[in-house]
Amino acid sequence: MKPAPFAYHRPGSLADALAILAGDPDAKVLAGGQSLVPLLSMRLAAPSALVDINALPGLADITVTDGRVRVGALARHAAVLASEEVRRHQPLLALALAHVAHATIRNRGTSVGSIVHADPSAELPAVLALLDGALEVASVRGTRVIPASELFVGPLESALEHDEIATAALFPVLPAGAGVAFEEIARRHGDYAMCGVAAVVDGDSVKAAYVSVSEVPTVVDLTGVPDADLGEAALARLDPADDIHATAAYRAELVRVLTERVVARARGEAAA
């Protein structure tokens, strides 16, 4: 298991990185490498070149401004999880990140990289979708902001153009009086979930987003749904599938159980 040969670039400025990407349609961005390097080693990916963004200045910042938690592209999962400010302004991020892999992987993997990677089994894409967040991206053509609702195109496919670098993810802060909760069931703690559910309750509004039970992060509006019907209402929008970890029927059962549990907990947090 060794990667195929590739050229390696470690630009010191965003402009240089974007220029290299624009000039080579087969080049790929390397962030934390925690998803990309396994793909290279298994030769599921064989890019002509890697553009390592780890030396780009200013991208590791985590800030709270204009009602949004802004997580820079080089902020590691571990740094986001450890941030008191993030926990205070958008507790759902920390709740979900505690389930992202193990501490050793979180030391290197980036939260933005996980969103761009768009794995339907990943926690952060579901969180970004649920909160109606967005991704800031740059290319030689300029910058744009992609709302979460337009970002996730398919499994492992996001709406980024080949020559774009995501510079930050924007997570709206939790409104006063609202509550969030997250829970997932995995074979072992730290593994990808068989099913995960995030919920936000704000006044009468109840919304949930799902991990590992649809091809792209799916947000289901459960406002006004009686407690006993929450699971079925969610399942109407989801598509749990069989794989080596769980049957579709078991995943559907997890949707029912977790939806009730997570919505109840988010309600409790909202009331607290």
Ligand X SMILES: Cc1cc2nc3c(=O)[nH]c(=O)nc-3n(C[C@H](O)[C@H](O)[C@H](O)COP(=O)(O)OP(=O)(O)OC[C@H]3O[C@@H](n4cnc5c(N)ncnc54)[C@H](O)[C@@H]3O)c2cc1C
Interface with ligand X (CB under 6 A):
28-36, 38, 53, 73, 100-101, 105, 109-110, 112-114, 116-117, 122-124, 160, 165-166, 192
Between 136 and 184, name the residue whose CB sits nearer to another protein: 184
Q: Which residues on neighbouring strands pair with residue 49, listed in sequence order? A: 7, 27
Report what 50 binds from ligand X, another protein, none; CB cut-off 5-8 Å by kind. Answer: another protein
* Binding of another protein by 6 (CB under 8 A): yes
Report what 28 binds from another protein, ligand X, none; CB cut-off 5-8 Å by kind. Answer: ligand X
What does the alpha-carbon distance between residue 129 and residue 215 come to, in Å, rounded to a whole number? Answer: 13
Residue 264 burial (CB count, 10 A): 15
Range in contact with another protein (rule: CB under 8 A) among 37-45, 202-210, 218-226, 234-242: 37-45
Q: How far is the CB of 101 from ligand X (least distance, A)?
A: 3
| Beta strand residue intervals within 159-229, DSSP E | 165-172, 179-186, 193-202, 205-211, 218-221
Q: How far is the CB of 39 from another protein (least distance, A)?
A: 9
Per-residue interface string for the shown chain with another protein, residues 100-139, x marking contact by CB under 8 A: -xxxxx-xx-------------------------------
Report what 263 binds from another protein, ligand X, none; CB cut-off 5-8 Å by kind. Answer: none
Nearest to 177 by CA among 141, 142, 203: 203
CA distances from 156 to 39, 103, 112, 136 (A): 12, 23, 14, 18
Q: Under 8 Å CB-to-CB from 241, ≥6 apart: which residues? A: 213, 248, 251
* Binding of another protein by 48 (CB under 8 A): no
Between 108 and 267, name the residue whose CB sits nearer to another protein: 108
What does the alpha-carbon distance between residue 114 and residue 49 come to, in Å, rounded to a whole number? Answer: 20
- Tokens for 133? 């967040």
Q: Are 6 and 48 in contact (CB under 8 A)?
A: yes
Between 123 and 269, name the residue whose CB sits nearer to ligand X: 123
Per-residue interface string for the shown chain with another protein, residues 179-218, x marking contact by CB under 8 A: ---------xxx----------------------------
